[in-house]
Amino acid sequence: MPNTPTSLQLPPPTTKGTTSEATMLNTLPDINTTVQGMAIVWLLSKPSSDFVPLGQFPEEHFSEENPWELIKDFQGELEVLTTIISVRNSKLEIPYTYMDPALIENSVAI
């Protein structure tokens, strides 16, 4: 992957016009390093197997009424946003789903 190498085997050139094709090829990582980098990117970009959408809380951390009301209000706002995004996306040839609360993880899950 010469356009996005995962590592360099030699330091980058410090002056323009001093690099040869051989130096460039020696600077790029070997195929095993590239394949490992691609595998890591693929693995980290997969959806989590225990995906929890934004605003959903499987564990009950609060027993008081006030936090529950705030959580319900927040979930309601997220539902409105999801509806607005779904309506907008239905009119698009390629839907833009990156900011849809229903598709955003509640927390970092690596």
pLDDT at position 101 is 94
pLDDT, one tens digit per residue, over 36-65 is 999 998 998 888 888 889 999 888 888 899
Of 36, 29, 23, 39, nearest to 3 by C-alpha is 29
C-alpha–C-alpha distance, residues 90 and 87, integer Å: 5
Of 108, 105, 107, nearest to 53 by C-alpha is 105
pLDDT at position 93 is 96
C-alpha–C-alpha distance, residues 41 and 95, integer Å: 23
Q: Are 26 and 2 in contact (CB under 8 A)?
A: no
Structure tokens at 94: 């390629």
